[in-house]
Amino acid sequence: MRYFSLKILALVIFMPFVSCNTDSGNNAVLKIEHGALDYEVDGYLQTKISSNLPDTKALVSSFQPSENIEVNGNTIEKFEYQETKESTIDGALTGKQWVLQGLYEDEGINILKTVRLTAYDSFPDLVSTQVTYVNTSSENLIVDHWSNNTYTIDSQNDAPPFWAFQGSSTSARSDWVRPLEAGYYQKNFMGMNDSDYGGGIPVSSVWRKDVNIAVGHLALVPKQVSLPTEVLSNPLVAKLGVQEDFDNHTIWKSKDTIQTLETFVSISTGDYFTSLSKYSELMQAKGITIVEPEEASFEPIWCAWGYERNFTLNEVIGTLPKVKELGIKWAVLDDGFQIAEGDWNADPKKFPQGNIEIKRLVDKIHDNGLKAKVWWTPLAADPGSKVLREHPDSKIIQEDGSPQYITWWNSYYLSPTKEATIAHTKETIHLFMEEWGFDGLKMDGQHMNAVASDHTLENPNNSVEGVPAFFQMIYDEARSIKPNAVVENCPCGTCMSFYNMASMNQAVSSDPLSSWQIRHKGKTYKALVPNTAYYGDHVELSDGADDFATSFGIGAVLGTKFTWPKDNPSASGKYVLTPEKEKIWKKWFDLYNNMMLSKGTYLGGVYDIGYDKPEGHVIQKDDVLFYAFYADNWDGDIQLKGLDQSKTYLVRDYFNNETLGEISGANPIYNGSFDDFLLLEIKPKQ
């Protein structure tokens, strides 16, 4: 990942309005009005947030201890206000800043709290927070955790009461977007949660029908903090915030300082799309560079994984003519070609002539007019593999002295910042792309999303924070060999680390468990990296193993892992392309290549993915809007949001090629019925 100052994106600038007084107690000593967000601080350095957007109701009923610290087993919430200092931020990222101080003094515990609030001119509706605590006691203290931007949000009797986006990853591979009911809790730890799972997007976004509140942190590298969400009853409220937990009995020495991350709260309407878009834009303004899109990454994909690890060379080569016939542009060699994870040469049991056979396969793929991509699981090395024989110290070693283990691959984690790991990785990329001639990389595995602290390093957390730079190195190395290389990051079932998104040019739904996951993962990626290709993964992983409509309607790249003319008898799936299936597959790939909705602009703020029914998505290409609606079955009115009230539109069901009439932008209600999906083209009448 590259970090440097960027020129601020061209956004409307909102100057915050501020008022101050010197009252204590529950009266506001500072009020910031920044876009739609009103942010108040009282005489105990507690805060109250509210929205001034039309038709939004109260978020919180009173001032809350949103920034607090747990010391000696007690959470300290109230600090007597001392002063406020205001300043202006100059440079590329301009804004205003307020520094407030308060004191806590009780029974020998003395703590000075300094709160820095920032309102960035180009990012209305958002205020960031960074807190410094100084132990001014004469004795050492025990510190357990700090919490920032912790809010208890009132319910407005919606059904369900709340929806949420949560960006953590666990072996459950659960939905990133879900309704929240009373009794719900999720910790959302951004470090390792299971042996192979960790990392994610450090934002939690909770919304009602009228308003959305998001919190997160703004560090430029991964941090091991939590963003817990919870729903309580009596009264029915949602809680969210950012928290860092310290090791048990962590000593906070007298006169020492604890500083939190820069965290934030933002306000919007609708679902989480606007919150994530704003977060990504601010992170880019702070210095994260997201790579440019690659034309070839939008082309449809066939993957040989239908034949699984026991594929034969003849099976793959024999399928290529059918791949080409269907209009697919990429062929992917998947897992099973290698000697071992960590020794990526051709397995002599499968390829008796060695690496030259894989080179010939790539030539065959190219001879069929297709591009070639190779599967790969970086950061994994099997016991006894070449890299571990030559560099046994390249492993991550945990605090107890044991290596970090990747359960899924029966492998060890390689430490991403160690020179041996980097050299091995570069050598592998050159083997794939220079010697064999592949045009792209399919990086695969949930373990890629995050790693544990490496206690062989001077600073053990360098391994955690070094993962993004490792993937940036892969991207740069691949593109130095093939300038148009496609670099796909497929962190199986995880919520991909936002920091890793910066160095790939093809995201993927990554082993989705349902079509719903394909759709909301797509909305997430299109919020955070809007111009990057999003691949819906093999259609065989969708509902019914044939739901092309889900990927197509949200602007995802189509893909499949069909086998032809028969399945590999050792494979677990039944993916043979029958004549009946071939007609369906051909229709969808023809539509995809003709329309290329994946290159359109996804208008994620039009429909609320939680509360609007039926579920709706919109893509714009020039002056034409493409609507996609999803429901098990629907019969009734559908509101076509986002139309110009002064225009009349022609409505066409483009999947069935049926003209459905005209609709007025002033009354954009379409009455229709469908099962599973409805795909509409809405074009202004000339």
Identify the structural domains of the chain with CATH numbers, from first to last. 17-286 (2.70.98.60), 300-540+557-571 (3.20.20.70), 622-684 (2.60.40.1180)
Q: Above 90 in pLDDT, residue 26?
A: no
Q: Above 80 in pLDDT, residue 3?
A: no
Distance CA 164, CA 478 (A): 37
Mean pLDDT over 339-348 rounds to: 98
Model pLDDT, residue 14: 39
Q: Above 90 in pLDDT, residue 240?
A: yes
Strands (E), 438-538: 440-444, 486-490, 506-508, 533-535
Global pTM value = 0.95
Residue of 651, 660, 657, 638 lying closest to 683 (CA atoms): 651
Q: Above 70 in pLDDT, residue 629?
A: yes
Tens digits of per-residue pLDDT, 447-485? 999 999 999 999 999 999 999 999 999 999 999 999 999
Mean pLDDT over 601-614 rounds to: 98
The gap from C-alpha 170 to its chain's centroid, in whole angstroms, comes to: 14
Least confident of 11-20, 43-52, 608-617: 11-20
- Residues with Cβ < 8 Å from 157, sequence gap 6 or more? none
Which phi and psi (to 5°) does residue 210 adopt?
A: -100, -20
Q: Above 90 in pLDDT, residue 89?
A: yes
Tens digits of per-residue pLDDT, 361-375? 999 999 999 999 999
Q: What is the DSSP string of 355-405?
A: HHHHHHHHHHHHHTT-EEEEEE-TTEE-TT-HHHHH-GGGB-B-TTSPBPE
**In the structure, what pLDDT confidence band is assigned to residue 11 with cuts at 50, 70 and 90?**
very low
Mean pLDDT over 103-112 rounds to: 96
End-to-end CA distance of the chain: 47
**In the structure, what pLDDT confidence band is assigned to residue 270 with cuts at 50, 70 and 90?**
very high
Q: What torsion do the CA atoms of 367, 370, 374, 375 make, to the nearest 10 degrees?
A: -140
- Decide: 229 and 523 in contact? Cβ < 8 Å: no
What percentage of the chain reaches a pLDDT higher than 90? Answer: 95
Model pLDDT, residue 389: 97
Model pLDDT, residue 16: 59
Distance CA 628, CA 606 (A): 12
Model pLDDT, residue 686: 83
Residues 253-276 as b/e (b if ≥16 CB within 10 A, e otherwise) read eeeeebebbbbbbbbbbbbbbbbb
Least confident of 14-18, 437-441, 562-566: 14-18
Q: Give the CA distances from residue 53 to residues 105, 158, 165, 641, 676, in Å, rounded to whole numbers and listed in that order.
A: 39, 18, 21, 19, 35
Lookup: tokens for 333 = 């060699």
Distance CA 120, CA 93 (A): 7
Model pLDDT, residue 17: 53
- Residues with Cβ < 8 Å from 30, sequence gap 6 or more? 18, 19, 20, 40, 41, 84, 98, 100, 117
Give me the half-sphere count of Cα atoms (radius 13 Å) on the Cβ side of residue 627.
24
Q: Give the CA distances from residue 55 to residues 51, 52, 171, in Å, rounded to whole numbers and listed in that order.
A: 10, 9, 40
- Decide: 68 and 93 in contact? Cβ < 8 Å: no
Model pLDDT, residue 6: 23
Amino acid at 446: Q
Other beta carbons within 10 Å of 418: 22
Distance CA 337, CA 349 (A): 9
Least confident of 11-25, 350-364, 394-408, 594-608: 11-25
Q: Let me know how long the chain is.
A: 686
Average predicted confidence (pLDDT) for the chain: 95
Distance CA 655, CA 639 (A): 20
**In the structure, what pLDDT confidence band is assigned to residue 110 with cuts at 50, 70 and 90?**
very high
Model pLDDT, residue 25: 53
Tens digits of per-residue pLDDT, 564-595? 999 999 999 899 999 999 999 999 999 999 99
- Residues with Cβ < 8 Å from 247, sequence gap 6 or more? none
Residue the block writes with tokens 């931007």: 149
Distance CA 166, CA 520 (A): 12
Distance CA 305, CA 657 (A): 33
**In the structure, what pLDDT confidence band is assigned to residue 542 with cuts at 50, 70 and 90?**
very high
Mean pLDDT over 32-60 rounds to: 97
Could you tell me the sign of the dihedral formed by the alpha carbons of 385, 387, 391, 394, in that order?
negative
- Decide: 630 and 655 in contact? Cβ < 8 Å: no
Q: Above 60 in pLDDT, residue 9?
A: no
**In the structure, what pLDDT confidence band is assigned to residue 7 with cuts at 50, 70 and 90?**
very low
Q: Above 50 in pLDDT, residue 22?
A: no
Q: Give the CA distances from residue 530 to residues 94, 224, 290, 602, in Å, rounded to whole numbers and listed in that order.
A: 24, 26, 10, 8
Q: Above 50 in pLDDT, residue 501?
A: yes
